[in-house]
Amino acid sequence: MKKVFLVACLSTICMFAMSQEALWKNVAVVSPEIHENNTVTFRLVAPNAAKVEVTGDFLPEQIIDTHNGKVNVKGVASMSKDSIGVWQYTTGVLGSELYNYNFIVDGLQITDPSNVYQVRDIASVMNIFLIEGGKADLYKVGEVPHGNVSKVWYDSPALGMKRRMTVYTPAGYEDSADRRYPVLYLLHGMGGDEEAWCTLGRATQILDNLIAQGKAEPMIVVMPNGNAVQEAAPGENSDGFKAPTTQLEKTMEGSFETAFGDIVSYVDTHYRTLADKQHRAIAGLSMGGFHSLHVSRLNPDMFGYIGLFSAAILPGQVDPNGIYANFEETLKLQFDKKPALYWIAIGKSDFLYEANSDFRQLLDSNGLKYVYHESEGGHVWRNWRDYLSEFVPMLFKKAE
């Protein structure tokens, strides 16, 4: 034994590092570097590149023409090269936000090799960084009690498959054997899945922080997969490592709405829920707003709180289950039953702004009461994180 313990420990750390398949070639620079004044410097070692740019949502948007019309895309800024081949760009002072960016090297869009913090948005991978000192403090992992996050497989007889969803249980849930909790069902947009609200949406951190600050009730948050043909997110289902796509079947044609009861029934039998309308909320972004609108309308006794975030208030693609018929009557019935909150949020430059205005006009003309929140900006996660942060503190207050 003596020999084992006398083995020279020389360079052990180094050998671990070299041998654990870790590749250190690109970590010679710090990127992004967030300065004290909230400017940010990006760096990339690429001595052989002719042109390097950074593109991100902290730069002014560009408007480009496509064959479908004009679309807003992220701004691009040129980086400059120093004498040893390090490209660099420093932003102006940035407000508090969770930002995303990529580099473009001679036309090739890549992630920053010095920053392991990345999120996937549909088929794109972007780096992220966070500027503290304002609203993005809600998106940080705070020094607060943390809820647990589970990937849970539930049975959906209506869709004929086991499906995966993400469930957040608030701090204390596991240690309070008798306490029951209200539930927020939180739905993603087209091309998203059961992971989107936790990765892009920072739902875990927003809930942890708002609950710790006493601004939100401790609640369970259920984030299902809204793509009725999918068992689970890309890479987590039996299709293998297939490229993510928005071109899925059965997204806005009633299948998901019709099968929603399977989710509620699983949650109410497997979690300590307060299983009534006063303690149930539903909200979603874009397609998830469309789903929230219809699921709550079709189940007027199920949800006391409804949130439409940049909702895709558009006709269903087709309607094999006939759930989009009798829209106005069922909507009136839902409002007759007085939900505690019907909240509509949209950004001024969202391509769905007009569709939402039309919908509000319909509600107004029928005297149906809702709360309206209009923000700057468009159809982007920055707004949806913000809407969630606004929405959650309003939930379940009237039930106390």
According to CB under 8 A, which residues from 33 to 52 bind its own copies?
Answer: 44-50
Residues 270-299 that bind its own copies (CB under 8 A): 270, 286-287
Longest CA–CA span in the chain (Å) reads: 87
From candidates 81, 135, 146, 373, binder to its own copies by CB under 8 A: 146
Among 36, 37, 84, 108, binds its own copies (CB under 8 A): 108
- Per CB under 8 A, the list member of 209, 227, 230, 237 interacting with its own copies is 237
**Which member of 142, 261, 377, 393 binds its own copies (CB under 8 A)?**
142
CB 395, min distance to its own copies, A: 23
Judged by beta carbon, residue 26 or residue 278, the one nearer its own copies is 26
Which residues are 90's β-sheet partners?
Answer: 41
Alpha helix (H) residue ranges in the chain: 2-6, 12-19, 196-199, 203-212, 255-258, 260-270, 287-298, 327-336, 353-365, 381-391
Is residue 31 within 8 Å of 114, Cβ to Cβ?
Answer: yes
Enumerate residues 6+ apart whose C-beta is below 8 A from 371.
Answer: 341, 342, 343, 344
Instruction: Please give the distance of CA 106 from its chain centroid, rounded to a whole number.
Output: 31
Q: Should residue 267 be labelled a site residue for its own copies when binding is judged by CB under 8 A? A: no
**Positions in 192-221 near its own copies (CB under 8 A):** none
91 forms part of the interface with its own copies (CB under 8 A): no
Contact with its own copies (CB under 8 A): which of 243, 322, 336, 400?
243
Query: Hey, which residues between 354 and 383 contact its own copies (CB under 8 A)?
Result: 354-355, 358-359, 362, 378-381
Pairing, β 52-56 against β 97-105? antiparallel
* Nearest residue to 343 via CA among 295, 290, 283: 283
Contact flag: residue 394 with its own copies (CB under 8 A): no
**What span, in angstroms and rounded, lies between the C-alpha atoms of 278 and 397?**
9
Asked if residue 32 has a cis previous peptide bond (ω within 30° of 0), the answer is yes
Contact stretch for its own copies (CB under 8 A) within 150-158, 217-225, 369-377, 387-395: 150-158
Exactly one of 62, 134, 153, 364 binds its own copies (CB under 8 A); that residue is: 153
Residue 222 binding its own copies, by CB under 8 A: no
Q: Which of 129, 145, 151 is nearest to 205 (CA)?
A: 145
Q: How far is the CB of 108 from its own copies (least distance, A)?
A: 5
Binding part of the chain for its own copies, among 231-239, 255-263, 274-282, 301-309 by CB under 8 A, reads: 231-239
Closer residue to its own copies in complex, CB, 131/283: 131
Binding of its own copies by 60 (CB under 8 A): no
- Residue 134 CB: number of other CB atoms within 10 A? 11
Question: Rounded to whole angstroms, how far apart are CA atoms 309 and 291?
Answer: 11
Positions in 4-33 near its own copies (CB under 8 A) = 4-7, 9, 11-27, 30
Residue 113 lies near its own copies (rule: CB under 8 A): yes
